[in-house]
């Protein structure tokens, strides 16, 4: 199936560490025999997920679906968490490390994401079209601050090249947040950094936050509307399937998929969804 859609060899194959043997080793053996090639150039095996320090699993009765996280409808959750919060939470941990879900950790991620996105908006406000301060200040750049920023920015790329270390990229971003906010509040003069340095910092924040990590602002109202619409469509689809109207059922699923929303029919009769 992978060869049909991705070719005899593709770039990245993901999966959990528990699939390393025998599943993925079998894939390698089968592909090597059939296509004379390894199926993937890079293998990314993520570590296990735990809930409050305990392994997640059906036998432990502690599985939380993404849809339940988005709605907050689960006994282990104190509230609903947005897709951006969940994404940011996952990115804060290296994929080879254990990921432990807890209300405290998720709420911390929610606050952290808000702080980071606010700093990004502040950074964009520091860039003037003329490259000059609005009040006419044109003092010399602070060489210590220049050195700090120009030392951290290249580390973004180095971290991603070092086994997709998203956690270290975010840590470097948070190193720059106090500087950005202090410049916004004029506790540090904006011309303490050269215009070229500010532009470089903004470019890297934009590329990593929005283009690579896919993080963006969400409002509670927009999230609630999306949740309501999806639940309505899922109910309509369930009704269509009960009437054996598979044309309507497939149409709903296929059109949502085109929008980047994948519906999954669970064995217990429920329906979950993920954002692709």
User: Is 65 a domain residue?
Assistant: no
Distances, alpha carbon 120 to alpha carbons 76, 104, 178, 220, 267, in Å = 33, 24, 11, 20, 42
- 169, pLDDT greater than 70: yes
User: Are 207 and 228 part of one and the same domain?
Assistant: no
User: Is 181 a domain residue?
Assistant: yes
pLDDT number for residue 67: 86
* Percent of the chain's residues with pLDDT above 70: 93
Cis peptide bond N-terminal to 42, omega within 30: no
pLDDT number for residue 133: 47
Would you say 8 and 31 are in contact if contact means Cβ atoms under 8 Å apart?
yes
Q: Is the dihedral of CA 229, 233, 234, 239 positive or negative?
A: positive
- 137, pLDDT greater than 50: no
User: Are 228 and 252 part of one and the same domain?
Assistant: yes
Please name which of 131, 34, 52, 62 lies closest in space to residue 99, comparing C-alpha atoms: 52
The rounded distance, in Å, linking the Cα atoms of 172 and 174 is 5
- 269, pLDDT greater than 80: no
| pTM, rounded to two decimals | 0.77
User: Are 128 and 202 part of one and the same domain?
Assistant: yes
User: Are 189 and 123 part of one and the same domain?
Assistant: yes
User: Is 10 a domain residue?
Assistant: yes
Average pLDDT, the chain: 90
Chosen domain end from 212, 237, 266: 212
The rounded distance, in Å, linking the Cα atoms of 76 and 78 is 7
Please name which of 54, 52, 60, 57 lies closest in space to residue 77, comparing C-alpha atoms: 52
Distances, alpha carbon 258 to alpha carbons 5, 253, 254, 265, 275, in Å = 17, 9, 6, 17, 11
User: Are 131 and 186 part of one and the same domain?
Assistant: yes
The rounded distance, in Å, linking the Cα atoms of 108 and 102 is 10
Q: What is the dihedral of CA 142, 146, 149, 154, to 10 degrees?
A: 180
Give the residue-averaged pLDDT of 202-225. Answer: 86
The number of folded domains in the chain is: 3
The rounded distance, in Å, linking the Cα atoms of 106 and 66 is 13
User: Is 76 a domain residue?
Assistant: no
User: Is 200 a domain residue?
Assistant: yes
Beta strands in the chain (DSSP E): 10-16, 40-46, 49-51, 54-55, 99-101, 261-265, 271-275
Give the residue-averaged pLDDT of 242-247. Answer: 93
Q: Strand pairing of 10-16 and 49-51? A: unpaired
Task: State the DSSP code for 137.
Answer: -
Task: State the DSSP code for 269.
Answer: S
User: Are 228 and 202 part of one and the same domain?
Assistant: no
User: Are 204 and 144 part of one and the same domain?
Assistant: yes
Full residue range of the structural domain in which residue 124 is found: 113-212
User: Is 16 a domain residue?
Assistant: yes
User: Are 188 and 258 part of one and the same domain?
Assistant: no
User: Are 200 and 121 part of one and the same domain?
Assistant: yes
User: Are 137 and 200 part of one and the same domain?
Assistant: yes
User: Are 235 and 205 part of one and the same domain?
Assistant: no
User: Is 96 a domain residue?
Assistant: no
- 207, pLDDT greater than 50: yes
User: Are 207 and 225 part of one and the same domain?
Assistant: no
Q: What share of the chain is helix, strand, coil (3-state, %, to 5)?
A: 60, 10, 30
User: Is 35 a domain residue?
Assistant: yes
CA max distance for the chain = 74
| Half-sphere exposure of residue 59: CA atoms within 13 angstroms, side-chain side | 1
- 132, pLDDT greater than 50: no
């Amino acid at each position: 199936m992978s060869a049909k859609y991705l070719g005899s060899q593709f770039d990245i194959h993901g999966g959990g560490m528990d699939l390393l043997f025998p599943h993925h080793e079998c894939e390698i053996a089968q592909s090597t025999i059939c296509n004379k090639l390894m199926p993937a150039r890079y293998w990314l095996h993520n570590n296990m997920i735990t809930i409050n320090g305990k392994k997640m699993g059906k036998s432990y009765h502690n599985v939380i679906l993404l849809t339940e996280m988005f709605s907050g409808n689960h006994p282990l959750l104190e509230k609903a968490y947005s897709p951006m919060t969940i994404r940011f939470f996952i990115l804060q941990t290296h994929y080879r490390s254990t990921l432990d879900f807890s209300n405290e950790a998720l709420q911390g991620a929610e606050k952290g994401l808000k702080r980071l996105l606010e700093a990004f908006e502040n950074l964009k406000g520091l860039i003037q079209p003329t490259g000059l301060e609005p009040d006419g200040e044109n003092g010399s750049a602070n060489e210590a601050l220049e050195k700090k920023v120009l030392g951290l920015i290249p580390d973004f790329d180095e971290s991603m090249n070092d086994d997709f270390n998203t956690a270290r990229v975010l840590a470097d971003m948070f190193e720059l947040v106090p500087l950005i906010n202090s410049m916004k509040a004029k506790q540090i003069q904006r011309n303490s950094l050269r215009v070229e340095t500010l532009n470089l910092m903004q470019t890297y924040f934009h590329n990593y936050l929005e283009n690579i990590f896919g993080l963006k602002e969400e409002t509670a109202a927009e999230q609630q509307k999306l949740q309501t619409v999806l639940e309505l469509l899922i109910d309509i689809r369930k009704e269509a399937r009960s009437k054996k109207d598979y044309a309507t059922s497939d149409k709903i699923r296929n059109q949502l998929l085109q929008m980047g929303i994948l519906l999954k029919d669970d064995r217990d009769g429920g329906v979950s969804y993920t954002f692709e």
